């Protein structure tokens, strides 16, 4: 006990802050989610979610947008991470700075910048119209595509850095050995590089998916009223209709769904079933 006392004293302030500003409010919100209009204990809010197809569709849309964001960030981030792993230390620092620099700007400002770029009068539509590729402006905003673009911009840095960190740990001599044994670059990538960087991919996928599921600002600004996701619906229930119990229930259903999906993905990675894909 005497050996543990210094550790307990050092961690006590942070634990007290965590308990006061996170755990207790979460517990109070959880208890509030079981209240009904008569302020009595009830499962009414959770049953409403299950019975109403509107909320089920909102949850599925939230998951779908998050999965598309994960896929998009993974495809765009992997080449950048590969280049960083092969670059010199100075170049790595420059690329890391370029990746992190946009995050020094508020996400609201970045999203409004995308509104200017992707709008019907934005430079993308104007360029396509001037080249004669399209006859009328494309609808790139206030739909799921616009939300995925905004979320990809917000979270791609997490994917790049997670994968790059994993690639740094791979011994370059492994690729050289595979090449000496007659393996092509493609085969070397799929049999050596990709399996060894799975931990980094797993970390990036988990981060991006969790952040996308809970994102509020980007779906609200770039999805508008056309793309409603669960965080936006929970916010509206609490702040607009003042239905705190239903909003709290939606928030915890979102939390539970995220934990369930991440846990299932973690289980697949832990059991190393992905190796069957590489082996085939």
pLDDT of amino acid 255: 93
Domain shared by 11 and 53, yes or no:
no
Count of residues in the chain: 280
Identify whether 38 is part of a domain. Answer: no
49 plus 24 within the same structural domain: no
User: According to the model, what pLDDT value does residue 248 have?
Assistant: 93
Indicate whether 11 and 108 sit together in one domain.
no
Confirm whether 55 is domain-assigned.
yes
Pair (134, 159) in one structural domain: yes
Whether residue 131 sits in one domain with residue 6 = no
Kindly state whether residues 67 and 160 are assigned to the same domain: yes
Three-state helix/strand/coil letters over 53-122 = HHHHHHHHHHHHHHHHHHHHHHHHHHHHHHHHHHCCHHHHHHHHHHHHHHHHCCHHHHHHHHHHHHCCCC
* Residue 247 pLDDT: 92
59 within a domain of the structure (yes/no)? yes
pLDDT at position 149 is 95
Domain that holds residue 230: 43-279
Query: Would 262 be classed as within a structural domain?
Result: yes
Q: Low-confidence residues of the chain, pLDDT below 50?
A: none
Whether residue 233 lies inside any domain: the answer is yes
pLDDT attached to residue 54: 92
Q: Which residues of 1-22 are buried (b: 16+ CB within 10 A; e: fewer)?
A: eeeeeeeeeeeeeeeeeeeeee
User: Mapping DSSP to helix (H, G, I), strand (E, B) and coil, where does residue 24 land?
Assistant: helix
- Per-residue pLDDT, 181: 79
Do 89 and 162 have their domain in common? Answer: yes
Domains in the chain, number:
2
pLDDT in the model for residue 280:
54
Same domain for 6 and 130, yes or no, is no
pLDDT of 2: 65
Please check whether residue 37 lies inside any domain of the structure: no
**Are the C-beta atoms of residues 115 and 127 closer than 8 Å to each other?**
no
19: CB partners within 8 A, 6+ apart: none
Instruction: Give domain status of residue 66, yes or no.
Output: yes
Q: How many CB atoms lie within 10 A of CB 255?
A: 15
Q: What is the pLDDT of residues 108-119, one digit of tens each?
A: 999 999 988 998
**pLDDT confidence of residue 114:** 92
Question: Domain of 264: which CATH number?
Answer: 1.10.3720.10
Regarding whether 60 and 17 lie in a shared domain, the answer is no
The whole-model pTM stands at: 0.88
Q: Quick one: pLDDT at residue 67?
A: 96
Task: Measure the CA–CA gap between 240 and 72, rounded to whole angstroms.
Answer: 33
Looking at residue 36, its pLDDT comes to 81
Whether residue 139 is found in the same domain as residue 253: yes
pLDDT of residue 279: 52
The answer to whether residue 69 is domain-embedded is yes
Do 19 and 141 lie in a common domain?
Answer: no
pLDDT for the residue 225: 84
Claim to verify: residue 94 and residue 212 sit in the same structural domain:
yes
């Amino acid at each position: 006990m005497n050996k543990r006392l210094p550790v307990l004293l050092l961690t006590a302030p942070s634990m007290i802050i965590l308990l006061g500003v996170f755990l207790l409010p979460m517990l109070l919100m959880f208890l509030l989610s079981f209240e009904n209009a008569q302020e009595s204990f009830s499962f009414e809010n959770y049953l409403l979610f299950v019975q109403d197809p509107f909320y089920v569709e909102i949850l599925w849309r939230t998951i779908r947008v998050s999965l598309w964001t994960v896929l998009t960030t993974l495809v765009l981030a992997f080449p950048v991470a590969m280049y960083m792993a092969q670059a010199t230390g100075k170049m790595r620092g420059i690329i890391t700075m370029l990746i992190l620099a946009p995050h020094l700007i508020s996400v609201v400002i970045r999203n409004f910048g995308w509104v200017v770029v992707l709008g019907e009068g934005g430079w993308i539509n104007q360029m396509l119209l001037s080249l004669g590729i399209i006859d009328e402006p494309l609808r790139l905003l206030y739909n799921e595509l616009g939300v995925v673009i905004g979320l990809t911009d917000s979270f791609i840095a997490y994917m790049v850095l997670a994968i790059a960190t994993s690639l740094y740990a791979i011994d370059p001599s492994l690729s050289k050995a595979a090449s000496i044994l007659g393996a092509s670059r493609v085969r070397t990538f799929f049999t050596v590089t990709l399996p060894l960087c799975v931990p980094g991919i797993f970390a990036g996928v988990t981060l991006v998916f969790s952040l996308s599921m809970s994102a509020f600002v980007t779906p609200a600004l770039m999805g508008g009223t056309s793309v409603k996701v669960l965080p936006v619906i929970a916010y509206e229930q609490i702040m607009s209709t003042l239905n705190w119990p239903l909003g709290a229930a939606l928030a915890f259903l979102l939390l539970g769904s995220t934990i369930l999906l991440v846990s299932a993905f973690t289980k697949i990675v832990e059991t190393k079933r992905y190796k069957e894909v590489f082996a085939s």
